[in-house]
Chain A
Amino acid sequence: MNNWLLEPLQFPFMRDAMIAGAVVAAMCAMLSCFVILKGWSLMGDAISHAVLPGIVLAYLTGIPLAAGAFASGFTCALATGYIRNNSRVKEDTVLGVVFTGLFAIGLVLHSRTESELHLDHILYGNILGIPPEIFWQVMGAGALVVTAVLIWRRDLMLAAFDPSHARVLGLPVRVLDYGLLSLLVLAVVAALQAVGIVLVIAMLITPGCIAYLWTDRFDRMMLIAVTAAVLSTLTGILVSYHIDGSTGACIVLVQAAVFTLSFLFAPKHGVLLRRLGRAAH
């Protein structure tokens, strides 16, 4: 058992993977709590596709790719908000139209430009071979997101729960909304190149869902989400090392397993114990 844990840690690429993975997991898990409570589950998916045109344009004009990605992802969120406010179409539907459109623009731009930019490097980042500059991007984004959420989590929570009350108290609800969106885009952009698109989408939803089944308090929900996400990520990386499987997929699978167990066994909101409780009465 000790060997199973320690042997992989001899390799620097494994240590980097575990550190970066844990940071991505923690930052996404914190955001996932807001994402699921606000009904924004599609947002991670949308932003991680919508960054593409920004990346290609940034490459063409020579500005940092991350900056282009951020601009493009944020445009997606803004455009969605604008169209929702000014039409009768529901938010998730608008989001679907906007992000597929942006992704398509990115694909066309990419196919029309001669470049060394490989799509699969952008969208399917490999956690076991993170380049140093991306590693540090992840660290920076992680520090920023975690700090911002820790400072403003109560305001963000109140704005999600009862925006009217928040406004009556004089909180800047709109600024909080856009702030949360910015953090989301930042997390996606940083995580995308490190861990890949599927993993980002999963990490922005599953940990929050798991925690939501375990508790009725917001702070605990965040704590459980972060713990579940970080442990699943480390376990997934180790498993993938030993079975020589796709790392991203292994992490997602471990998370899904934790979700299934929670769904069955969580004390109050799990189905099995609820059944048992009912039978006992």
Chain B
Amino acid sequence: MPGPLADRGASGIGHPHSAAEAAQAAARDFPPLSLKVDRISVMYPNGQRALNDASFSLSAGTVCGLVGANGSGKSTLFKSVMGFVNPVSGTVRINGRPVREALKQQLVAYVPQAEEVDWQFPVNVTDVVMMGRYGAMNFLRISRAADHAAVEASLRRVGMWDFRGRQIGELSGGQKKRVFLARALAQGGRVILLDEPFTGVDVQTEEAIITLLRQLADDGCIILVSTHNLGSVPEFCDRAVLLNKTVLASGPVEEVFTEPNLTKAFGGVLRQFHFEHSTIQNHDGRQVRVLTDDERPLVFGKDGHLEYKDRTGREDLVKIRSEEQD
């Protein structure tokens, strides 16, 4: 069953449709998509309880950031959504059905962490993306014209078409990520899981991946991204889930990303920079620039509200903030 992305492939993904058009198309082809994690607890064989009574739910057209410290259960949550671990209690449902059925329908796609892959394996970029099509092929996995079209469209969409003949290990970290993302596109996955997609990826590639994820959400997908990179979450996620063995908070990013919540999730491990305690003087005004090497900074305003990088696209917010001042 090819997804809308694959269909778009045949007509040339190079020309992105308008978001509204795509959303309409998605709504026509698919019942509304939903992911519901309902009070799951996960226990590993060694008795380690990795998740305890965790719940949240997402609906179509969402990019959700999954945020938590090391060992907070992000990867475990992913494994539960993919059906790799069975919760000792609670359920995960996709479109109201058990995960196993969603997998059969190729609804779930997964972009692996770099450490999980054997980069010396004798496959090239095209082969890897073609693996996304296996579920749509017959049992001999013979690729047909539609499969090749979907592979080409996906590779073009992530900007990796020119690398199609490369052995998979001969790519940079960011290029590898994009190839696996292309595989998820070729698969036509509707619930796309990305575990730490931005580690070892430069800012430019990160932007490219983010743009793509936003487009996919506009097409009606659910994108779940685990990340350590707190600052990027407000920039590209609609919703966030804060995790520390259980769900501490979930909902729209502005509501979840508050200082008390983040302190609860991370304890004292976040580095902080308080302007009022720093050498910055009043005469610096708002001419202060913040540079960081890889991670985006997360900036809170005076009463603890989130600040964003760009004003464009957030005119409403700017207006509200300026009214607050008066």
Contact = CB atoms under 8 A, between A and B. Distances in A.
Interface in A189-228: 212, 215-218, 220-221
B12 to A, nearest CB: 26
B120 to A, nearest CB: 9
B208 to A, nearest CB: 22
Nearest to A211: B122
A151 B118 contact: no
A169 B106 contact: yes
A158 interface: yes
A212 B122 contact: yes
B122 A216 contact: yes
A243 interface: no
Contacts of A221: 122
Nearest to A86: B45
Interface in A24-58: 37
B108 interface: yes
Interface in A87-142: none
Contacts, number: 68
Which interface class (under 10, 10 to 19, 20 to 34, 35 or more) fits B?
20 to 34
B190 to A, nearest CB: 12
A161 interface: yes
A280 interface: no
A15 interface: no
Contact of B112 (A155, A157, A165): A165
B127 to A, nearest CB: 7
Given A151-B139, A164-B84, 18 more contacts: A37-B118, A37-B121, A155-B141, A160-B121, A161-B121, A162-B131, A164-B112, A165-B110, A165-B131, A165-B183, A167-B84, A168-B109, A169-B134, A170-B104, A170-B135, A216-B122, A216-B123, A216-B167
Nearest 4 pairs between A and B by C-beta? A154-B141, A216-B167, A169-B135, A170-B103
14 contacts: A151-B139, A154-B141, A158-B131, A160-B121, A161-B118, A161-B121, A162-B117, A164-B116, A165-B112, A165-B131, A168-B82, A170-B103, A216-B123, A218-B127
